[in-house]
């Protein structure tokens, strides 16, 4: 009899868990549709550290919403820890940034001290000035990882050229030719790479190029010469 009761109790517990998971999935699906109807493109919904609040990860940035979807707010959410204050949204973005390592066009430093990501547009004058000094950055121990950020949008000719560069069998050579000789590879449709990097730039708040992002997520807007960038990175490290 006791065994039967235990089995029955386990069955009720499993049914309850399944029901709660199904309800959560249904709620997330309805929230996702709601925010897509509001004009957000890709929407990912996950629990936030706050009870009753969802994290709404969109191509326009990271937002937070009440479980019922009636309230949406934009802003920073901080976690106060014994080690200091942690920016929750930034932590999520840094994971996405470092996940782009495989798709970044990288100019590595032999004696690497720092890694920066640079959102670049191949028609940008100051991006070109920065690009011309790749070796100087590398000599100072700074690895440069370029990400695509076509300023005229994803449907521009510029975006198509960048898609072809990033999808090339040899992206480094293709970017070298584009920057140095204004020679572009045959246009290939590889929108997922450029779109993912462009959307990530939007989430970071990139409004112009070049935009330099450290591997820990700090943004350095605009062009910065090699020696000044090194000093800026050292200062951030010593904060």
Whether 37 is catalytic: no
Of the listed 57, 151, 161, 199, which one is catalytic? 151
Whether 199 is catalytic: no
Of the listed 57, 59, 74, 127, which one is catalytic? 127
Helix (H) or strand (E) holding 115: strand 114-120
Q: What angle do CA 187, 188, 190 make, to 5 degrees?
A: 135
SS3 content of the chain, % helix, strand, coil (to 5): 45, 20, 30
Whether 127 is catalytic: yes
Helix extents (H) in the chain: 2-37, 88-99, 125-132, 134-139, 157-166, 171-181, 191-204, 226-237
Of the listed 57, 124, 161, 199, which one is catalytic? 124
Whether 139 is catalytic: no
Residues with Cβ within 8 Å of residue 198, at least 6 apart in sequence: 148, 149, 150, 154, 159
Strands 78-81 and 105-107: unpaired
Strands 114-120 and 142-148: parallel
N- to C-terminal Cα separation, the chain:
65
Of the listed 6, 37, 67, 121, which one is catalytic? 121
Cite the active site residues. Answer: 121, 124, 127, 151
């Amino acid at each position: 009899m006791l065994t039967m009761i235990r089995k029955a109790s386990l069955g009720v517990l499993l049914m309850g868990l399944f029901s709660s998971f199904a309800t959560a999935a249904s709620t997330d699906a309805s929230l996702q549709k709601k925010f897509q109807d509001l004009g957000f493109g890709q929407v990912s919904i996950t629990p936030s550290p706050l009870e009753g609040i969802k994290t709404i990860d969109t191509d326009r940035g990271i937002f937070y919403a009440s479980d019922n979807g009636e309230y949406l707010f934009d802003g920073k959410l901080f976690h106060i820890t014994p080690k200091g204050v942690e920016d929750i949204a930034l932590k999520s973005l840094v994971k996405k940034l470092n996940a782009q390592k495989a798709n970044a066009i990288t100019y590595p430093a032999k004696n690497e001290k720092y890694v920066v990501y640079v959102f670049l547009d191949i028609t940008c004058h100051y991006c070109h000035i920065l690009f011309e000094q790749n070796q100087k950055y590398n000599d100072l121990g700074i690895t440069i990882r370029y990400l695509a950020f076509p300023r005229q949008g994803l449907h521009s000719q510029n975006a198509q050229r960048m898609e072809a560069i990033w999808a090339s069998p040899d992206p480094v050579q293709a970017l070298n030719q584009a920057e140095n000789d204004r020679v572009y590879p045959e246009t290939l449709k590889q929108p997922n790479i450029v779109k993912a990097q462009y959307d990530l730039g939007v989430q970071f708040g990139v409004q112009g190029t070049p935009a330099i992002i450290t591997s820990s997520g700090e943004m350095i807007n605009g062009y910065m010469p090699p020696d000044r960038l090194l000093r800026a990175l050292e200062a951030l490290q010593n904060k």
